[in-house]
Amino acid sequence: MSLLRQTFSGLLLAALTGPLLAAPAQLGPRPFFLVDDMAPSLLRQELRACARQTQQYTRRDLAIGHRGAPLQFPEHTRESYLAAARSGAGILECDVAFTKDKELVCRHAQNDLHTTTNILATPLAAKCTTPFEPATFDATGKLLTPARAECRTSDITLAEFRTLRGKMDASNPAARTVAEYLGGTPSFRTDLYAGPSSGTLMTHAESIALFKRLGVKMTPELKYPVVAMPFDGFTQEAYAQKLIDEYRAAGVPPSDVFPQSFHQPDVLHWIQHNPAYGQQAVFLDDANTVADLPTREQLKAYKRAGIHIWAPPTFALLTTNAQGRIVPSQAAKDARAAGLKLITWTLERSGVLADGNNGFYFQTIDSAITREGDVMNVIDVLAREVGVIGIFSDWPATVSFYANCKGLP
């Protein structure tokens, strides 16, 4: 083989097996639209000046791809992960569930296949815990019972799971047919990237291999099962351990992994039995209101137990002051005082803002959200005043742009 051909072959092999997307992040127009939509402020001036610069934007760890980039791409699919990395996410999330044969796969819940995949339109629908049941109506057309179904990863084998395609997470409660039920995508999202040739589902191990090639860090969430545990002899502890074992088998250093769970015993298992990986274990908080948040003493107890990172929903870390400005909440101050690092979830998931009712994630600061651009103020307070180390987002470019402009990791 000539030297020229040897050189070309080497370059081709590197392109096929080396890190993907080594190019700078491609942020697209959304971050710049949000900056232009901000009310006049010093922050707006700074971000607009940054936007005018001809700099290269790079991926940032502050931007965590929540399920990938599900604002536009079907969650937990290869296409969604690629979009998240391209748009600047430095960390990507695989939510982990298990199949009937106890293999780990990327799904937000063990029982969401009926809303996030095409399973109901395939022969595998017969294996669902609850096959499709159409909505019923009275003689006037009033909805009596909504359409329903429940399909679990544990209903099918890994081989069967691989035959499915991902779709945007949605369902139509008024559906009379499977085709109608599989619709219902919110208007602020899109089905443009959810065609039959996309929506590639992934195992946990496949996500690890992809993330390594992308050169990003990883934050797997162990989803609590809806089936009784042990499942066919598979204990909760074995489930938690298998997640870590797949990172070990892939040679991923603990510094690149942030394992997370809402179930505290999972986090403590990692800390006690896998201390290298447990150092970055994330205890997720499922509080629905401020009243549900842990007390100062409980936060201190987390730290004493070896938990270093607490991850509550965004509303938990923010409030407004007497002037109506967004500021750190008492819970945020208490967590920092306890020595905890903070991650929060989730931006770009509330649809159109400034409608006076922005829902769960902004419940403590809704009065301060008056336009789309105010999301940049939210990011600024989270990063600069609360001091979070990561922000989950359904469209990571928004956070990545801010982090690039502020010189944050």
DSSP 3-state of 86: helix
CB 89 within 8 A of CB 71: no
* DSSP alpha helix (H) spans, 18-74: 30-36, 42-52
Q: What is the CATH number of domain 22-94+202-406?
A: 3.20.20.190
DSSP 3-state of 82: helix
DSSP 3-state of 297: helix
Take residue 147 and report the two structure tokens written for it.
């359409």
**What pLDDT is stored for residue 21 in this prediction?**
45
CB neighbours of residue 314 within 10 Å: 25
Tokens 């619709």 correspond to 183
Instruction: Tell me the C-alpha distance between 180 and 236, whole Å.
Output: 36
Query: Phi and psi at residue 5, in whole multiples of 5°?
Result: -65, -35
Q: Can you give the residue ranges of every domain in the chain?
A: 22-94+202-406, 113-178
Peptide bond before residue 289 is cis, with ω within 30 degrees of 0: no
Q: Tens-of-pLDDT digits for all 409 residues of the chain?
A: 444 334 333 433 343 344 454 458 999 999 999 999 999 999 999 999 999 987 799 999 999 999 999 999 999 999 999 999 999 999 999 999 999 999 999 999 999 999 999 999 999 999 999 999 999 999 999 999 999 999 999 999 999 999 999 999 999 999 999 999 999 999 999 999 998 899 999 999 999 999 999 999 999 999 999 999 999 999 999 999 999 999 999 999 999 999 999 999 999 999 999 999 999 999 999 999 999 999 999 999 999 999 999 999 999 999 999 999 999 999 999 999 999 999 999 999 999 998 878 999 999 999 999 999 999 999 999 999 999 999 999 999 999 999 999 999 9
* 95-98 and 104-106 beta bridge pairing: antiparallel
DSSP 100-119: TT--EEE-SSTT-HHHHBSG
**What pLDDT is stored for residue 24 in this prediction?**
82
Take residue 118 and report the two structure tokens written for it.
């095409």
| Residue partners of 250: CB distance under 8 A and separation at least 6 | 205, 208, 209, 212
